[in-house]
Amino acid sequence: MNRIELKNVSYQYPLTQEFALKDIHFQFEPGKLYGIIGSNGAGKTTLCNLVRGLIPHFYQGELTGEVLIDGKDVRDWESSELSAKIGYIFQNPFSQISGVKETVFEEIALGLENLGIEKDEMIDRIIEVVKLLKLEELIKKNPNNLSGGQRQRVAFASIIVMNNDLLVIDEPTSQLDPQSTHDVFEIIHMLKQQGKTILLVEHKVDLIAEYSDDVLVMQKGQIVFSGPTGEVLSNKDLLNKGASIPQVALLGHEMKEANKPFESVPITKSQAKEQIMKRMGKAYGSN
């Protein structure tokens, strides 16, 4: 099911005065991709830690309110159950790799081995994921010798092979070049097509505009905006909340101020292109 409900949730890390999360009320629906944005220190990773159960199972501190995962309070789940249920991809592909396996194949097998999956099934699942992520050329390589982009693809493979329905992905491209970033987003898109529920923290707002269903904007531990991606990312007020909006949305607002508005403020290049083509079509008398 993978429904996550946060009711009046506040949290303070141990020995801190400030709330890392404050009065959070939100419901994550199954099968959707949620983009989570906001300035540094806004509470995005803390929200991920909460949904993954690291708060309160690993981090102590003061947690109030209710965190319900599939209707059951996070405090009542065993942390091992949660880590088997929820896949997590780190910001840093270098810390995601175990460092103890000598080939990419063994690295991808690690989680399945820990679950005691039978060898034949394990091999079938690994082959499937290797094909899916086009990792054939890397399979015999040592994971410690891969580039950042290759490591991040292997990290995704290690998670995808576990077949979790809920994935928490925290800034997966912050250390990657543009091509590797594109590859990672194609993988995320594919996971969304498979019906996974995905929470994705990402500073690159153009990519969030392209791929997310809904967006949450965080500031000082609170969710200050949330809703469908088009609605949230076309809102200029985000700029006053330490978040950014896509360049093309800024252009949309500038056009409005110049009395040459788009039909609606675009948030992606393709939306802007469509509207410009339509307008040019009218200007030149075609459809």
Ligand X SMILES: Nc1ncnc2c1ncn2[C@@H]1O[C@H](COP(=O)(O)OP(=O)(O)OP(=O)(O)O)[C@@H](O)[C@H]1O
Cβ proximity to ligand X: between 90 and 144 the closer is 90
Which residue spans within the chain are E strands per DSSP?
4-12, 21-28, 33-38, 62-69, 72-73, 86-89, 166-170, 197-201, 214-219, 222-228
At closest approach, how far in Å is the CB of 92 from ligand X?
A: 11
What are 248's two structure tokens?
């093309």
Phi, psi of 95 (to 5 degrees): -90, -10
Q: In the complex, what is the shortest distance from the CB of residue 70 to ligand X, in angstroms, rounded to a whole number?
A: 24
The nearer residue to ligand X, 28 or 262, going by C-beta atoms, is 28
Write down the residue that tokens 């159960």 correspond to. 53
- C-beta of 40 vs 193, nearer to ligand X: 40
Q: Among residues 144 and 226, whose Cβ is nearest to ligand X?
A: 226
| Lookup: tokens for 119 | 């060898």
What letter does residue 29 receive in the DSSP assignment? P
Q: How far apart are CB 232 and ligand X at their closest, in Å?
A: 17
Q: Which two tokens stand for residue 121?
A: 């099934």
**Between residues 221 and 230, which has the closer beta carbon with respect to ligand X?**
221
Structure tokens that stand for 12 in this block: 């303070």
**By rule CB under 6 A, what string of x and - marks binding of each residue 38-77 to ligand X?**
x-xxxxxxx-------------------------------
Nearest approach, Cβ of residue 11 and ligand X (Å): 9
Among 6, 9, 20, 51, binds ligand X (CB under 6 A): 20
Looking up tokens 């801190």 gives 16
Residue ranges binding ligand X (CB under 6 A): 13, 16, 18, 20, 38, 40-46
